[in-house]
């Protein structure tokens, strides 16, 4: 099975006068149950976004939904060649969960 990914937006930064959102703070969480044990991984960041308050279809701060903000941050991540795309971030978290579920290294001592 694959992990369930949840994108959250804890905060956005905006221009007060126009309602233009300029930066989106995001958090991505992955959760998967493997053989009865729940594993999770998480990453977070912020991404600058741009827009034009005079453009047709502009959505001002007061009308923005969580789904709008998630779509915008994913699009901004996908467009940035210097950063992992949204899908690559999800794949990275899946990799972390896979390593937790089937570790290849461990630490400790063989005695109590």
pTM of the predicted protein model: 0.89
Residue-level pLDDT at 112: 76
User: What confidence tens digit (pLDDT) does each residue in 27-65 have?
Assistant: 999 999 999 999 999 999 999 999 999 999 999 999 999
> What is the C-alpha to C-alpha distance for residues 57 and 108, in angstroms, rounded to an integer?
58
Mean pLDDT is lowest, of 6-10, 36-40, 94-98, 108-112, for 108-112
- Both tokens of 19, joined, read 């309602």
Please say whether the beta carbons of 77 and 16 come within 8 A.
no
Task: Tell me if residue 24 falls in helix, strand or coil.
Answer: strand
The per-residue pLDDT for 110 is 94
What sections of the chain are H helices per DSSP? Answer: 66-79, 86-101
Q: What is the mean pLDDT of residues 72-94?
A: 96
């Amino acid at each position: 099975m694959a992990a369930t990914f949840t994108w959250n937006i804890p905060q956005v930064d905006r221009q007060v006068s126009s309602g233009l959102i300029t930066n989106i703070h995001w958090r991505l969480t992955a959760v998967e149950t493997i053989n009865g044990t729940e594993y999770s991984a998480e990453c977070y960041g912020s991404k600058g976004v741009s827009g034009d308050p005079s453009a047709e279809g502009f959505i001002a701060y007061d009308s923005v939904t969580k789904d709008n903000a998630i779509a915008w941050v994913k699009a901004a991540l996908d467009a940035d060649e210097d950063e992992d795309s949204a899908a690559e971030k999800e794949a990275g978290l899946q990799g972390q969960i896979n390593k937790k579920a089937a570790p290849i290294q461990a630490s400790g001592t063989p005695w109590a």
